[in-house]
Amino acid sequence: MKVILFGGTGMVGQGVLRECLLDERVQRVLAVGRSSVGTTHAKLDEIVQDDLFDLSGVRDRFTGYDACFFCLGVSSVGLSEDRYRRITYDLTLAAAGTIATASPGLTFIYVSGQGTDSSGTGRVRWARIKGATENALRELPVRGYAFRPGFIHPMHGATSKTRLYAVIYRVVAPLYPVLRRFAPGAVTTTEALGRAMIIVAEHGHPTPVLENRDINTVSQDRTIG
């Protein structure tokens, strides 16, 4: 399959990119972002531009793709609601709309978060806005899925660009084996996310929303791939 990847420089995106480049089922990866992912590979192409809200000038490069893994996102900490909504909702829908026009029917996987509010009307700002984003994506001519991971354990050198998150991951990382044992439904890894995305893109999933436990279950299915 041919895959478009947004957010390849972030922690989740780094992990997903690694899995895509390693997986024989993925023939091509087009990484899209404001900066280069900083690696070269025979399967990897890139689109680097400052304005990701307007991809009309490169729309033709999105034609013929099978899946889009949208791992681009920011923390709501320190952002106004308008700013967070613009980056989380407006940017996602702008990019998804362009891609849906170029490759209608492709699988679009959006990295949301555990606790997302599907009603879009809840009091928790980030959960409400992510829920509204999930809902809006379902209106596009794509096979849309929302992944809702809980705590994500970075693997194989993946690191967060958000300083606060990077510190939290360093502190919590030694506790990951304990968390995995006693709260398996609340933790996953960058490796599991990447593998699950590839499997869902190839085979689909019974539900449009995959909670943390679903992500882990799919990623561990050794009968697929």
pLDDT, tens digit (0-9, with 9 covering 90-100), for 43-76: 999 999 999 999 999 999 999 999 999 999 888 8
Distance, CA of 18 to CA of 32 (rounded, Å): 15
Would you say residue 225 lies in a domain?
Answer: no
Distance of CA 86 to the CA centre of its chain: 17
* Residue pointed to by tokens 């593998």: 195
Whether 173 shows a pLDDT value over 80: the answer reads no
Contact, 58 vs 96, CB < 8 A? no
Average the pLDDT over 217-225 and give the result.
77
Question: Which uninterrupted H or E stretch holds 152?
Answer: strand 151-153
Query: Token digits for 195?
Result: 């593998």
Kindly indicate the confidence band of residue 130, based on its pLDDT and cuts at 50, 70 and 90. Answer: very high
Kindly indicate the confidence band of residue 142, based on its pLDDT and cuts at 50, 70 and 90. Answer: very high
Would you say residue 224 lies in a domain?
Answer: no
Burial class (CB in 10 A: 0-12, 13-18, 19+), 171: exposed
Residue 27: its pLDDT value, please? 97
> Which structural domain range is residue 116 located in?
2-219
Q: What is the CATH number of the domain that holds 183?
A: 3.40.50.720
Would you say residue 179 lies in a domain?
Answer: yes
Query: Token digits for 96?
Result: 């998804």
Number of domains in the chain: 1
Q: Is the dihedral of CA 166, 19, 42, 74 positive or negative?
A: negative
Would you say residue 62 lies in a domain?
Answer: yes
DSSP structural state of residue 3: E
Contact, 128 vs 121, CB < 8 A? yes
Whether 3 shows a pLDDT value over 70: the answer reads yes
Sheet-wide strand order for 107-111? 44-48, 28-33, 2-6, 67-70, 107-111, 143-148, 209-211
Q: Is the dihedral of CA 170, 176, 179, 184 positive or negative?
A: positive
Would you say residue 189 lies in a domain?
Answer: yes
Which stretch of 26-40, 46-60, 65-79, 132-146 has the lowest confidence by average pLDDT? 65-79
Distance of CA 7 to the CA centre of its chain: 8
